[in-house]
Amino acid sequence: MKNFADLTYRIYSKVKAKKPLIHHITNFVVMNDTANLTLALGASPVMAHAKEEVEDMTTLSDALVLNVGTLTKEWIESMILSAKIANKKGIPVILDPVGAGATSFRTEMSFQILESCRVSILRGNNGEISTLAGFKAHVKGVDSLQGADPMQVVRDAALKFNCVVVVTGKEDVVSDGKRTVVISNGHELLTTITGSGCMVTTAIAVVSAVHTDLLESAVSALSIFGIAAEIAATKAKGPGSFKVYLFDHIHKLSQKEIEHRIKIREI
């Protein structure tokens, strides 16, 4: 992955120049945080879920985030309507199957989305993706307690769903079925704030809206988010201040910070 730091910084700057619009149909817990993350990256967020307008909104957008936390059946219908427009328009669809494996409803709804449209990138924790890929897993609420080997999970899931798959955790792993990349940025404090997984999903959507290689998009988004978290953690006194610094630094990463801190390897 030579020069990946360069590529990441170029993409990071491209987001600020292009200001893509990211349509989210997402959960109530993280809407404010993911909107703020989109803005901090220099992109523009919109949240809309009414059946009457989701197709119009996706038509205006440059990427679509579907996140199944706090889901109901009505919302799933809107998600699938939007995803079909996104597919027709050729913009990336990023799916975050929050809590798949915890309840059969969330697992089934995640499968329903995967079957009804083309998902470009699937991002979850190891328990969620293991569940969807058919491995034994244990998801407690929205936290992964147990899953299979993440390297195998991402590859298998990528082949099964024919998309880029991201499993985040202590290390993040990305695969398109052929290439597999491990990102070792990030910080433990991310586990002390809600929505850090959902924010990563949004970051991936933002990047994929301006960069066509989906695997590279996922890897750079994970690097950017992880590096900002590392810098934030050097100043944070706890979860409250960590979150404040995370938004500050996501907004103003320097090329040098990315170069010095990026930790990715292809396996």
Q: Does 100 bind its own copies (CB under 8 A)?
A: no
H or E element at residue 199: helix 196-208
146 binds its own copies (CB under 8 A): no
Parallel/antiparallel/unpaired status of strands 121-125 and 93-96: parallel
131 binds its own copies (CB under 8 A): no
Rg (CA), the chain: 17
Segment contacting its own copies by CB under 8 A, of 30-38, 112-120, 171-179, 205-213: 30-38
The torsion angles phi and psi of 109, rounded to 5 degrees, stand at -65, -40
- Least CB distance to its own copies at residue 239 (A): 5
Please give the residues from 172 up to 191 whose contact with its own copies meets the rule CB under 8 A. Answer: 191
Residue 5, classified by CB atoms within 10 Å of its CB into exposed (0-12), middle (13-18) or buried (19+), is buried
Q: Which stretch binds its own copies (CB under 8 A): 48-56, 79-87, 118-126, 165-173?
A: 48-56
Handedness of CA 43, 48, 49, 54 (dihedral sign): negative
Interface segment toward its own copies; rule CB under 8 A; list 22-30, 85-93, 157-165, 168-176: 22-30
Q: Is 13 in the site for its own copies (CB under 8 A)?
A: no
The two beta strands, 164-168 and 264-266, are: unpaired
211 touches its own copies (CB under 8 A) = no
Specify the DSSP class assigned to residue 230: H
Q: Which of residues 215-254 bind its own copies (CB under 8 A)?
A: 236-241, 243-252
Please give the Cα distance from 118 to 21 (Å, whole number): 20
Q: Which of 1, 47, 151, 159 binds its own copies (CB under 8 A)?
A: 47
Out of 7, 11, 15, 30, the residue judged to bind its own copies by CB under 8 A: 30
Among 33, 96, 156, 230, which residue interacts with its own copies (rule: CB under 8 A)?
Answer: 33
- Distance of alpha carbon 34 from alpha carbon 164, whole angstroms: 21
Distance CA 265, CA 93 (A): 25
**Minimum distance, C-beta of residue 46 to its own copies, in the bound complex (Å):** 3
Which residues, numbered 68-97, are part of the site for its own copies (CB under 8 A)? Answer: 69-73
- Give the 3-state secondary structure percentages of the chain, helix then strand then coil, rounded to 5: 55, 20, 30
Residue whose entry in the numeric block shows the structure tokens 């301006």: 210
Contacts to its own copies by CB under 8 A? 21, 23, 27-33, 35-36, 38-40, 44-50, 52-53, 56-57, 60-61, 69-73, 99, 102-106, 140-143, 191-195, 236-241, 243-252
